[in-house]
Copies of this chain bind each other. A is one copy, B any other.
Amino acid sequence: MSDLRIAVLGVGIMGADHVERLSSRIAGARVAVVNDFLTEKAESVAAGIPGCRAVGDPLDAIADPDVDAVVLATPGPTHDKQLLACLDHRKPVLCEKPLTTDVESSLEVVKWETELGVRLIQVGFMRRFDDEYMQLKALMDADEFGRPLMLHCVHRNPAVPPSFDSSMVVKDSLVHEVDVARFLFDEEITSIQIIKPATNPGAPQGIQDPQIAIMRTSSGKHVDVELFVTTGVAYEVRTELVGEKGSALIGLDVGLIRKQSGRWGGQITPGFRERFGRAYDTEFQRWVNAVHRGQTTGDYTDGPVAWDGYAAAAVCAAGVESLQSGRPVDVSMVDRVSIPRA
């Protein structure tokens, strides 16, 4: 199975991140084409990726026969046209939110894809892929909390750019909680109210911050969201689900906490694979990268070396001796032998 050839459109902060992600951490894909309205930026990004080239027009990039799939990280107002081009060329596309910047054009895109009858468009609501949200959803699907009743959300940013205005709090921040509520409840939202408390004295002039959003779903479930984008503290995204038989909290920086049957707490990592699975991934990725670099550096390692294996063996041998004798045992080791780090 050969690697997918991806075109990344828009290589600003987000897009450049995705280029790096696809190049260094994602198996089965490579960035073949990049595009940006700043041509030089696209060219400079392309120069850093073997086998990648910059293309000047986003629609050309989409149409390019050497492109199997598209990542859209362009500004929202251009999504409309680019998505329709992807559909025309039957190119799968991962589109950063928003789908488009207004309801009408969003609906047009939906209808066009439905007519084609092929699922080609995925929207970048990345929280659905976050471990904690996935755990919460899995527990809900397993009926751990009974019928879901309410969702309390908190969305806090330490600061926002000076260009931020009150409606962007809704469109750029609340939009994630809207998707979270729809994802977790599997229902549409039918009404919404924005409450405007006295504003934070530290917020830029003219922004309504904080805001409280109150939403209701088709079956009457309640969702409230604190939106507060100038806290000065840190990035806090929290969700509490309250169900008929218990509740769960994520986003407190301590993992998912459940409350059921009079007990609060979490799961203990059940085994070494759950505990260290990611460490193995990191170990392997860093080792693979080090081996790639090795031709140049003469150092094919990025982690514990043979000496560390020897030292561990020496200590464990002394440990086994102590286990038998019951007495402290001195560890016997030669002086360190080593190849200087490249």
- The answer to whether B266 and A192 touch across the interface, beta carbons within 8 angstroms, is no
Whether, in the assembled complex, A302 has its beta carbon less than 8 Å from a beta carbon of chain B, the answer is yes
Whether, in the assembled complex, A62 has its beta carbon less than 8 Å from a beta carbon of chain B, the answer is no
Q: Give CA–CA (A244, B228) in the complex, Å.
A: 10
A residues 238-262 in Cβ contact with B at 8 Å: 242, 244-247, 252-255, 257-262
Known: A69-B291, A235-B275. A328 touches B192 (CB 8 A): yes
Interchain nearest-CB distance for A245 vs B (Å) = 6
Q: Give CA–CA (A70, B244) in the complex, Å.
A: 42
Whether, in the assembled complex, A294 has its beta carbon less than 8 Å from a beta carbon of chain B, the answer is yes
- The answer to whether B212 and A197 touch across the interface, beta carbons within 8 angstroms, is no
- The answer to whether A188 and B235 touch across the interface, beta carbons within 8 angstroms, is no
- The answer to whether A259 and B233 touch across the interface, beta carbons within 8 angstroms, is yes
Q: A28-B288, A111-B337, A174-B316 are in contact. List 17 more A-B contacts (CB 8 A).
A: A4-B288, A21-B284, A98-B309, A100-B313, A109-B310, A121-B306, A123-B305, A149-B197, A149-B200, A179-B304, A188-B311, A189-B315, A189-B331, A200-B244, A234-B262, A235-B271, A236-B268
Known: A123-B304, A224-B212. A4 touches B292 (CB 8 A): yes
Whether, in the assembled complex, A85 has its beta carbon less than 8 Å from a beta carbon of chain B, the answer is no
Known: A190-B331, A323-B166. A236 touches B210 (CB 8 A): no
- The answer to whether A328 and B191 touch across the interface, beta carbons within 8 angstroms, is yes
Known: A28-B24, A259-B268. A313 touches B1 (CB 8 A): no
Question: Chain B residue with minimal CB distance to A114?
Answer: B337
- The answer to whether B316 and A175 touch across the interface, beta carbons within 8 angstroms, is yes
> Which B residues touch A336, using CB under 8 A?
188
Whether, in the assembled complex, A78 has its beta carbon less than 8 Å from a beta carbon of chain B, the answer is no
Interchain nearest-CB distance for A169 vs B (Å) = 8
- The answer to whether B178 and A284 touch across the interface, beta carbons within 8 angstroms, is no
Contact with B along A87-105 (1 / 0, CB 8 A): 0000010110111111100
> Which B residues touch A308, using CB under 8 A?
123, 125, 179, 182
